[in-house]
Structure 1
Amino acid sequence: MAWRKQRTINVRFIIETKDNTLTGTYCYIAQAGNRIDCPPDDEINIHGIVRNGKAEVVFSSSFGGKNGHARLELNGEQMMWQLTKPPVRGDYYAPLNYILTRHPPATSSVTREFSTMKFTVMITSHCGDFNAPCNDVSYLGVRKSDNSVMALKGKTLQSSAGEVVGAEFVNGNVNYKVDYKPVKLTVNDGGRVLVNQAGQWVN
């Protein structure tokens, strides 16, 4: 079952319990996408013991932090996280306290990747079909010059005939638009064009 932080979408837990043990994946995106503390391929990075709706867990950070401790507590459809011991021997970005809500599993997610002269971008539709209208689309862009990352949420764009022709993502006053055929990335800040680059689909 996946859990997400209230008011934002940048914390995700996928956990499983068996008997009194808990294992799962912890993923936290901080600093507007510039710090992504997520294990590769959703590897297990949380272990714990469950007693009476509470769990004492040990977790690691993808930035080298090891042996962090936290307490999880269920309260209806919410789960409380409290950091009780920070990870050691590395960096981490887990907050001290936060509240997560249960996120129903999506039917499926489809990701496609494209590359422009300056960026590598992954677009994920969480609606089961990449070419279907969807209000739950993810953008993960990496600038090639310095590997800085931008993670955004958005929705598909449709033609007058109802065909999905791209996706749009908003970050404050900045609008990110991806055209699918042919693929192109356009970034606008108000009326000022910041990026206008054609690309090629990688997959």
Structure 2
Amino acid sequence: MSEHSDPARATRRSGEELREAILDAVRGELFERGYAGLTFDGVAHRAQTSKPVIYRRYTSRAQMVIDALIRSSPADLPAETTGSLRDDLVALGTALARRFEQLGIHTVRRLIAEIDDDLLPQLAELASAPAEKALLRTLGDARARGELPAEPLPDRVAMLPLALLSHEMLFNGHVDDAAVTDIVDTICMPMLTRTHHGGSATD
């Protein structure tokens, strides 16, 4: 028996049920075959639907992948504080590194290469929004504990941990625990905990 189901035996579904079946199939194909091996035909077989059904919903492979990953990505970020800014930053950085390792540098780079202007907001939601929300919560908790100055941090300073992690991921292709700890201890903590003046607040 083939690992793919025969589309002729596809179950009739519509709406959210069909969308979830397609997105589950996209994630399955992505993690088993990689971005290069992901095709509309493979997704259709795995989802037990037809290619025309998928083409009506998605115009590109990148659009399918971004939609599938957005639906599954936020849950693995830390939801609670450790009581320490330093430890919270390490926990967040480690979670982001694990997500990146699971997705893989080749998938990330191919997504960036294939997206068009219409997909940029979705890519930003996938790559930045959940991480920024978690970071801002971390900084707010640290300020409430007195670990950060009372005055707001400038935007670029507040987002520094994510910028450094993103650089490490995209240009080195890998982020291990030692790199996360080094980024937090040698750059982020000294920069975030010093007193700043001016700038607009994002946190």
TM-score normalised to structure 1 length: 0.22
Structure with the largest fraction of helix: 2
| Higher RCO structure (Cα 8 Å, ≥6 apart) | 2
Normalising by structure 2, report the TM-score: 0.22
Q: Which of 1 and 2 has greater Rg? A: 2
